[in-house]
Amino acid sequence: MKPTEEQCVSPGRRVFLGALGLTAAGVATSSGREASSAGETSAVHFVDALPLYVPEQKVSGTISLWGHGSFKQDFLGKLVHAWAEGFRRLQPHVQFEKKMYGTASAIGALFTGAGNLAILGEDINPAAATAFQRAKGYPPTGVQIATGSLAASFFDYAHMIFVHTDNPIERLTVAQLEAVFGTEHKRAPRNVRTWDGLGLTGEWHGRRIQPYGWKIDEDFGLFFRGAVLEGSHRWNVDVKEFVHVTRPDGSLYEHATQILDALAQDRFGIAISNVRYANAQVKPLRLASRTGGPYYAATEANLIAQKYPLTRIIPAFIDRVPGEPVDPKLREFLRYILSRGGQRALLTQSDYLPLGADAIREQLERLL
């Protein structure tokens, strides 16, 4: 019997979406302003329309996987197991070694030869990419294999921009974000430090914008730096940075919660965080990649289609000598991950989302 849509979605995602009154087909913000239209296709229905994996050649050998995980928490264990077992049913002569000790070790394993496939839990760290380039003389080949989650911890949730609910602004472009959070104005013609610079009038005219965000030189900050600041290291000096704090009772006060708690007390602030940490005094903004839009809310459908500008993408990396073909066993396994079976496993064994149709097509072309 074919599983129902509810059964195909991981328990963690069902619990979280249910608690917020959200559905797998789309997400409504706490204010209800960005409720997804009834016509949006759910992640499950989209995956069901993908083609099944059909081997183009029989392959053999060992795939040594390194990547997202740790000795304490095996974030991708069930997912990688599902991929390996599904693939081996059609390619029984391939063996797997799974050494998911963390994203930080994955690229190093690739260029030293300890592994041949790196699956990261985030975008590649610039330092790791540089180390590979120095060791091999060419960059690693990246292939997108999944979309980051809407709002699940440890599954690359989307970065969202929030303001206080009193703030009348509803949308921003990435260039405007760069003008607020950066200093080199690589996208925008000038820096913006007051709300009238973003078009607000009345009591907002001349009021200084207070930015809140992650620690700028750690994982989340590195993503924002690449996606918004175009790699610039020069942030607005007014950015207030937050890190995880352990309370006296031993509980964790997460940085994303601290950020939105601070914003709730600051009518003139702007913050980077995620909807899972939202409170009644803040609201998320729609974002556009270019001036004039279109503007998109962070919904599962918009993440899958990569329409939302701050969508996180999960990459795999291989060592491919320029001009040479991809190792056949790696090519076939990556083709499986990009097929219906591989993308369905994302929904049943993790809180990641599938890739969109255009992205899958582009990744398959990269493997040729």
DSSP state string for 143-171: EEEEE--SS-TTS-PPPEEEEETT----E
- Per-residue pLDDT at 11 exceeds 80: no
Q: Report pLDDT for 104.
A: 78
What is the phi/psi pair of residue 324, to 5°? -100, 155
46 in helix, strand or coil? helix
Q: Please count the residues of the chain.
A: 368
Has residue 25 got a pLDDT over 60?
no
The CA distance from 234 to 244, in Å, is 23
- CA–CA separation, 337 vs 349, rounded Å? 13
What pLDDT, on a 0 to 100 scale, did the predictor assign at position 329?
98
Quote the pLDDT of residue 19: 36
Q: Which of 7-16, 87-96, 155-164, 330-339 has the lowest mean pLDDT?
A: 7-16
**Does position 22 have pLDDT exceeding 90, yes or no?**
no
Check: CATH 3.40.190.10 for 160-297? yes
User: Looking at residue 15, what is its pLDDT?
Assistant: 40
pLDDT beyond 50 at 26: no
Report whether pLDDT(268) > 50.
yes
> SS3 for 201?
coil
| Mean pLDDT computed over 303-326 | 96
Quote the percentage of the chain above a pLDDT of 70: 87
- Label the pairing between strands 141-147 and 160-164: unpaired
Q: 282-284 and 286-288 as β-strands: parallel, antiparallel, unpaired?
A: unpaired
Decide if 141 contacts 367 (C-beta within 8 A): no
What's the rounded Cα separation, in Å, for the pair 194 and 236? 12
Q: Which long-range contacts (CB under 8 A, 24 or more apart) does 247-256 make?
A: 255/214, 255/215, 256/214
Compute how many other C-beta atoms are within 10 angstroms of the C-beta atom of residue 176.
23
- pLDDT band of residue 70 (cuts 50, 70, 90) is low
Q: What is the pLDDT of residue 146?
A: 96
- Does residue 69 register a pLDDT over 70? no
**How much is the pLDDT for 73?**
65
More confident residue, 216 or 297: 297
**Alpha helix stretches (DSSP H) within the chain:** 5-8, 11-20, 43-48, 77-88, 103-112, 126-136, 174-181, 219-227, 255-264, 300-304, 328-337, 340-349, 357-366
* DSSP state, residue 277: G
Confidence of residue 159 (pLDDT cuts 50, 70, 90): very high
Give the separation between CA 230 and CA 259, rounded to whole angstroms.
23
221 close to 213: Cβ distance less than 8 angstroms: yes
Least confident range from 12-16, 34-38, 91-95, 313-317: namely 34-38
pLDDT value at 149 more than 80: yes
pTM of the model: 0.85
On the question of pLDDT at 8 being above 70, the answer is no
Q: Quick one: tokens of 127?
A: 């330092």
- Dist. CA 207–CA 221, nearest whole Å: 25
342 band by pLDDT with thresholds 50, 70 and 90: very high
DSSP E strands, 252-324: 252-253, 269-273, 282-284, 286-288, 313-318
Q: What is the pLDDT of residue 42?
A: 64
Q: CA separation (Å) from 348 to 15, 89, 354?
A: 14, 18, 11
Q: Where are the domains positioned within the chain?
A: 1-152+313-368, 160-297
Band of pLDDT at residue 100, cut at 50, 70 and 90: confident
Query: For all residues of the chain together, what is the average pLDDT?
Result: 88
Tell me, yes or no, if the two domains 1-152+313-368 and 160-297 fold the same way.
yes
More confident residue, 222 or 158: 158
User: 282 or 46, which is more confident?
Assistant: 282
Query: What is the rounded distance in angstroms from the CA atom of residue 310 to the CA atom of residue 214?
Result: 15
pLDDT score at 16? 38
Q: How many whole angstroms separate alpha carbon 184 and alpha carbon 238? A: 14
Residue ranges of alpha helices (H) inside 71-158 are 77-88, 103-112, 126-136
Superfamily of domain 1-152+313-368: Periplasmic binding protein-like II (3.40.190.10)
Q: Return the sign of the alpha-carbon dihedral for residues 144, 150, 156, 161.
A: positive
| Backbone Cα Rg of the chain | 21
What are the φ and ψ backbone dihedral angles of 253, each rounded to 5 degrees?
A: -100, 100
* Cα angle, residue 209 at apex, residues 205 and 210 outer, rounded to 5°: 150
147, 353 contact by CB (below 8 A): yes
Instruction: Give the strand pairing for 269-273 and 210-214.
Output: parallel
pLDDT at 35: 33
The residue type of 94 is V
Instruction: Judge whether residue 76 has pLDDT over 90.
Output: no
